[in-house]
Amino acid sequence: MPSISHREFIHSRFEIVWDLLVDTIEHPDKYLSNVKSVNISERHNEEFIREIIFENDEHLKEFIVQDKVHGAIICQLKDHLKYNGDTVISLRSTNNVYENELDYKLQWLSKDPSTIEDTQEETAALRQQLESAAFEIKATAENLQDRRGSRENIL
């Protein structure tokens, strides 16, 4: 049963990081090379169902809630063959100027209680995807902040 967490400190404005997080949630095919298709349905304000089909024909269906006021995105598994659970993404401002803390927590529980722990390979692959996503957001947000900061200094 995968239980993974990862934290990054990002030197960029909250709005920049939040917009990137929303984009990765709504358009994972722009960030993951193994995505065949993405379908978003049942959208009601900041809640929707997202289904991702990967190139290996695995399906991932999630109920997603985005809460900008509290800096949280919750992705709850729906109809998954092996797991129940969710991934919580938190974004919080720190006491430092233009620094935010991005925190990913993945908690998936096996539907079959007799199943032994997942293979280390499967958990390592999920961890690598999570860390890669966090690093991509960090690099992009800091790059955008640097470019915006440079323009603001000129003006």
- The full set of domain ranges for the chain reads 3-154
Q: Give the pLDDT score at 68.
A: 96
What is the spatial distance between Cα 42 and Cα 70, in angstroms, rounded to a whole number?
Answer: 22
pLDDT band of 119, cuts 50, 70, 90: low
- CA 4, chain centre distance (Å): 12
pLDDT band of 82, cuts 50, 70, 90: confident
Range of lowest pLDDT (55-69, 103-117, 132-146): 103-117
What is the spatial distance between Cα 19 and Cα 26, in angstroms, rounded to a whole number?
Answer: 11
Give 3-154's CATH code, choosing from 2.40.100.10, 3.50.50.60, 3.30.530.20, 3.90.1150.10: 3.30.530.20
Number of Cα atoms under 13 Å in the Cβ half of residue 111: 8
Q: Give the pLDDT score at 153.
A: 44
- CA 39, chain centre distance (Å): 16
Residue 60 reports pLDDT greater than 90 = yes
What does the mean pLDDT of the chain come to?
A: 88
